[in-house]
Chain A
Amino acid sequence: MISRLVDGVPRRALILLGLFLALLLVAPLLVDGYILSILILVLYFAYTGQAWNVMMGFAGQLSLGHSLYVGVAAYTAAALYVHFGIGPWAGVWLAILISVACGLFIGFLAFRFGISGVYFALLTIAFAEFTRVGFDHFDWVNGSGGFFLPVTQYSVNDPLNLRGAPVMFYYILLAITVLAFLFCRWLLTGRIGYYWLAIREEPEAAQTLGINVFRYKMIAVAISAGMTALSGVFFAFYYNNLFPEQIFSMSRSIELILGPIIGGIGSLFGPILGAVVLTVLAESVTEIMHALGYDIPGIKQVFYGLCLLVVIIYLPNGIWPPLRKRLGLGDHS
């Protein structure tokens, strides 16, 4: 199994990956709190982008409603913690279960009725919106007023309850991101990865070859929703507050998927690179605008939009595929 993860990967790629990981491991020792918070954001988007990529990049199903899985999982874990005192590492399983159930429900309805492409994307938006308004009126978690976790002093780290300093969150998130990266590599190099590739490129041909298209699409949705659930739980315990308006919003879904699209859909390293580029870009624009004294609301997003426009026009496959070609790394990275 281990050999399958590294088979066919050039030595240079492994060394580069090792160096990158080592850099991430020592990073908290070198940087201040502000940079650390940005690194956490980068990892958050990298991980969630990786999760979304399973569905879109691997199996070719465009979901524009992934905020649904983030939100449902975040609320589940937070409610279990606040109402029943159940810690996040126990609650996360129920959160994953509920997210996967939501994903399977949407997937079942859509794939059964032959809904695909734009229609599928719009269906995912519709379900996320539906849930958002539902949670606005869900009094058990305080509706649109927002749901809050008790905030602790950052004196002691309590990893079992996910209460503590940002450094603890950083390392937990780093571990999750690395595991997700390996898991996706494992998926992609296995039988299921090739089935997904066939379904993504030629669904009809895949069907003819005897691949159960419906089943493998459902598996993709389940894995993607389950992985996304984890980032929802993390979100709840890191930020300590949840508002349906924010967590389920369509713009949040779009934010989540920009990373992998900019980085390169369907590649393993694309979501990570995309998250780095976008987050660093957004933060530096804020800083530069602040330094120049232009604190106009919206100016950052306009710049953000312009960068997106440039990338999508000139690098249609994202930043990573041309970059890995230049670096001489194989196609499966």
Chain B
Amino acid sequence: MPIELVFTVAVQGILTGLVYGLMALGLSVIFGVVRVVNFAHGEMMTIASYAAIVAFGAWNIDPLVAMVPIAVILFAVGYMLQAVLINPFINRPEHSQFILLAAVAIIMVNGLLMIFGPDARNVLVDYALDSIEIGPLLVDKVRVITAALALLIAAGLFAFFKLTRTGRAIRACADNYLGALVVGLNVKKLYALTFGIGSACVGAAGAMMTLLIDTTPNLGPAFTLQAFVIVIIGGLGSMPGALLGGVLIGLSEAMSGLFFAPSAKTMFGVGILILVLLFRPQGLLGRKI
């Protein structure tokens, strides 16, 4: 096998992995702060994807532009979800929270199925087939753009959590729930804000994803699982970990597609997950549990 091909596929995998990373970043932020596992994460991403497809089909808006309003809409959806449904469940046992979000996920997947049907849809922008030459490698233009945007959004998020007052307040809630209450933070509102931010991430990722893959309603559960795999590999609650996990999964998918069968790609991701859970359960970049 020519070495250029291997490198090209690897680079493509890493670039796709950064978009996966952005999706997983949303999940990681939510779990890190709210301590609720969002079982509807992939489903929220497919909602964003369909929004991008509709925007392109109806008004010919490029998904990379539509991404901004879609992220805002998903922010509102996430904020409401936390404020209305999840906040009353904060002190309930894990399996209750799980059922709540599983129910939300079932409604989302099948709602999309009712509206759009089971067929795969995609967005064909005029630069979809362009590629960029990097030395001897030929890389898809859309992958380079989406990966760069994913990195940019992630950087913005890091800055928000490090530098702004609200970001610091949210981190305080994550570190010490009781302490945050004592110093007078409105924890429930900050939780809703966090869920909104995580949802906005997944919204942006969903809009970008339409340029990379075909969308069907059934992608939702698959991407929920994918996001879990990534986040646990990187470390639940660790933001750089989510990006690293995304890149690893993107790379392993690309490599397994090249060397084995593309249908076996999830097995490698899940295999890495099992190894990580057993030997470093806090994840590659996570803090000790």
Contacts and interface: CB of A to CB of B under 8 A. Distances in A.
Interface of A: 56, 62, 64, 109, 113-115, 117-119, 121-123, 125-127, 129-130, 133-134, 136-137, 144, 250-251, 254, 258, 261, 265, 296-302, 304-306, 308-309, 312-313, 316
Contacts of B274: 123, 126-127, 130
Interface residues of B, number: 45
A118 B281 CA distance: 11
Given A129-B225, A302-B110, 18 more contacts: A126-B270, A127-B274, A130-B267, A130-B270, A130-B274, A136-B263, A250-B221, A254-B102, A258-B99, A296-B114, A298-B111, A298-B114, A298-B217, A301-B109, A305-B106, A308-B99, A309-B85, A312-B96
A52 B68 CA distance: 44
A306 B114 CA distance: 15
A297 B118 contact: yes
Interface of B: 37, 85, 88, 92, 94-96, 98-100, 102-107, 109-114, 117-118, 217, 221, 225, 228-229, 232, 236, 261, 263-264, 266-267, 270-271, 273-274, 277-279, 281, 289
Given A133-B264, A137-B264, A302 B92 contact: no
A117 B111 CA distance: 30
Given A129-B266, A297-B114, A265 B278 contact: no
A133 B104 contact: no
A122 B225 CA distance: 9
A51 to B, nearest CB: 16
Contact of B114 (A125, A130, A302, A308): A302
Contacts of A127: 274
A127 B37 CA distance: 19
B113 A297 contact: yes
- Which of A127, A134, A254, A306 gathers most chain B CB within 10 Å? A254
Contacts of A298: 109-114, 217
Nearest to B283: A119
A247 B236 CA distance: 29
Contacts of A313: 85, 88, 100
